[in-house]
Homo-oligomer: A and B are copies of this chain.
Amino acid sequence: MSDPATTTPRAARPAAHASRRPLAAAALAELQARFGPQCSVARAVREHHGRDESPLDVPPPDAVVYAHSHEDVVDAVRIAARHGVPLIPFGAGSSLEGHVLAVDGGMSLDLTRLDRVLRIEPEDLTATVQAGVSRLALNDALRGSGLFFPIDPGADATLGGMCATGASGTNAVRYGTMRENVLALTAVTAAGETIHTGTRARKSSAGYDLTRLLVGSEGTLAVITEVTLRLHPLPEAMSAALCHFPDVAAAVRTASLVIQSGIPIARCELLDALAVRAVNRHSHLALRESPLLLMEFHGSAAAVREQAESVQAIATEEGGGGFEWAVHPEERTRLWQARHMAYFAMLQLRPGSRSVTTDVCVPISRLAECIERTREDLDASSLETAIIGHVGDGNFHVLILVDPDDAAERARAEAANDRLTERALALGGTCTGEHGIGLHKMRFLARERDPATLAVMRALKRALDPGNILNPGKILPPPAGDV
């Protein structure tokens, strides 16, 4: 859910982490000597690397280095280490929580030129790519192989970035998240050493699981340069279905029952009424403006038919109706258009607005309650909001439209975000199902995890990055507690 369009209003960054370490002249000289034109201090370049899709406003990095090779990454990290300069890995810039902002200054290390698909081994269902390859580029390279890489966070993010944030998205309910689909990584430590985690074997119990430690570490423990991924056979058949419900609770109950029944649904997305209205206006559609589930089924032709029938029976019991089915690719695309356009469409509901975009994830039995109470809260707040979710996983997003020049409205949006997080945590959930912590959710991580657990995370950071040069000021709130 990191569509580039979900930009959000700029707000002052939390002050607690201010420990700016600007790039000293000596460090810059060394970077320029080593990297020549691959190192830029141009304002436009720095500003491009000084923002993501978060609502935070932070000065840009002092320099940007474009890595063209693993060795470039090694040398950039070594220069950063020698001079104690922050280094922030940068991919597509599509993160939503301030992951790539140069909060302490320093250099942004752009990895998008590491864009080679290194190996595809169809018989092993694996591919190895450089970190800057995007998920769509990988799927292009897989065309004709009968295989695909399913993880789809919305944006055409880089696979290195998707590892770093532990991305997931619409297909995760069936295929898992990045955690379940990364087999091995090559990365550069804060000391500039190259490490290799995992192998191409489907499983391993050989020592500490460094692969899973780096997945979700948001560039704070090492810089990922190569990724070995699990691929999946393209299903023999796919079908999509759209189903309307009288209310959000009925739609969510349907999703829960589908999961509890063990039906291997491939996608199960909720759009609430406002999101449907936005899509109708944006794409000149005439969908009924009630909550809907968009679903997809993968498997053999018979299995897909059977799954679809089972789900239709459950949905009908819950008051679902107005089914539309699609088997052919163009028909499926038409149905999914509603989902894909939701972010763009929301912004157009109110010209000039931005969207504060957040996510939580709760145990599936608490999802209906969490969404209903969130809907009541949002309605009472008089904010313009939509709820969209990967409800098969218990994961949903709230989009809150705000006027970027209206500080009071922005504050109300942040307050609603706070209440949403408290609600999710109280229901046994997490403050982020897939967006990550970055800068913006550090205060939420401090509520989700007790001090002893945060202390362990800090110990890991200190052990692997004693100079605090790798993406400093992210994930871990200062030991005092709430940021």
A residues sitting closer than 8 Å to B (CB atoms) are 121-126, 165-168, 172, 176-177, 179-180, 189, 193-197, 199-210, 212-213, 215-217, 221, 232-236, 256, 259-262, 264, 299-300, 302-303, 306, 361-366, 393-395, 428-437, 441, 444-445, 448-450, 452-457, 459-464, 475-476
Contact = CB atoms under 8 A, between A and B. Distances in A.
Among A215, A217, A459, residue most surrounded by chain B Cβ atoms (within 10 Å): A459
Given A199-B430, A205-B436, A364 B456 contact: no
A206 B445 contact: yes
Nearest to A126: B363
B196 A449 contact: yes
A405 to B, nearest CB: 31
Contacts of A121: 363, 365
Given A204-B430, A459-B464, A463-B459, A365 B123 contact: yes
B197 A453 contact: yes
Given A433-B203, A456-B189, A464-B459, A217 B208 contact: yes
B206 A437 contact: yes
Contacts of A299: 303
Given A179-B212, A206-B449, A363-B121, A201 B475 contact: no
Contacts of A210: 453, 456-457
A205 B162 CA distance: 11
A260 B203 contact: no
A397 to B, nearest CB: 13
Nearest to A189: B456
A172 B122 CA distance: 21
Contacts of A168: 203, 205
B433 A204 contact: yes
Given A262-B235, A457-B210, A460-B463, A201 B363 contact: yes
Nearest to A310: B300
A259 B206 CA distance: 23
Contacts of A361: 199, 201-204
The 10 closest A-B pairs by CB, nearest first: A233-B262, A463-B463, A212-B212, A123-B365, A204-B430, A193-B452, A201-B361, A124-B363, A195-B453, A166-B205
Contacts of A362: 201
A260 B475 contact: no
Contact of A306 (B202, B261, B300, B364): B300
Nearest to A264: B264
A60 B123 CA distance: 47
A456 B345 CA distance: 46
Contacts of A209: 166, 179, 212-213, 215-216
A364 B125 contact: yes
A394 B207 CA distance: 19
Given A209-B166, A459-B464, A463-B459, A364 B430 contact: no
Nearest to A176: B180
B464 A202 contact: no
Contacts of A476: 207
A448 B363 CA distance: 38
Nearest to A195: B453
A343 B454 CA distance: 44
Nearest to A166: B205
B460 A195 contact: no
Given A212-B213, A300-B306, 12 more contacts: A168-B203, A199-B428, A199-B430, A199-B448, A201-B430, A205-B432, A205-B434, A207-B437, A208-B217, A299-B303, A302-B306, A460-B463
A451 to B, nearest CB: 9
A188 to B, nearest CB: 10
Nearest to A461: B208
A362 to B, nearest CB: 6
Contact of A303 (B167, B306, B445): B306
Nearest to A210: B456
